[in-house]
Amino acid sequence: MATHRADLSWILSSLDKSGFKNGLALLGLLWTAKVSLSLAFSILKGLRIYLFAQITTRNNFCIKYGGRWAVVTGASEGIGRAFACELARCGMNIVLMSRSTQKLEKVAETIEKESKVETLIIPIDFATQDVYQKIIASLEGLDIGILVNNVGVMYEYPQYFLDVPKQKLFDLININMTSVIMMTRIVLPQMCERKRGAIINMSSSAGELPTPQMTVYAATKEFVDSFSRALAYEYSPQGIEVQSLRPFYVATAMTYGTKANIVVPSPETYVKSALYTLGLSRRNTGYWSHGIQGWFVGFCPEWLWMWTATLLNNQIRRVVLKNKKQ
Model pLDDT, residue 296: 81
In a domain, 43, yes or no: no
Per-residue pLDDT reduced to its tens digit, 46-84: 666 766 666 666 668 888 888 999 999 999 999 999 999
Per-residue pLDDT reduced to its tens digit, 208-226: 888 999 999 999 999 999 9
pTM value is 0.84
Strand-pair partners of 73: 97
> Positive or negative, the Cα torsion across 282, 244, 291, 35?
negative
In a domain, 130, yes or no: yes
Determine whether 41 is exposed, middle or buried from the number of CB atoms within 10 Å of its CB (0-12, 13-18, 19+): exposed
To the query of whether residue 217 is one of the catalytic residues in this protein, the response is yes
In a domain, 299, yes or no: yes
Q: How many domains does the chain have?
A: 1
Angle (CA) 81 70 292, round 5°: 55
Model pLDDT, residue 209: 84
In a domain, 216, yes or no: yes
Which of 217, 235, 276, 287 does the annotation list as catalytic? 217
| CATH number assigned to the domain comprising residue 164 | 3.40.50.720
In a domain, 12, yes or no: no
In a domain, 91, yes or no: yes
Per-residue pLDDT reduced to its tens digit, 163-172: 999 999 999 9
pLDDT at 37 > cutoff 80: no
In a domain, 48, yes or no: no
Answer with the residue of higher pLDDT: 258 or 203: 203
| Domain of 177, in residue numbers | 62-324
> Positive or negative, the Cα torsion across 42, 45, 49, 52?
positive
Helix (H), strand (E) counts: the chain: 13, 7
Spatial CA neighbour of 95 closest among 126, 113, 118: 118
In a domain, 114, yes or no: yes
Q: Cα separation of 194 and 267, whole Å?
A: 31
Spatial CA neighbour of 203 closest among 147, 283, 145: 283
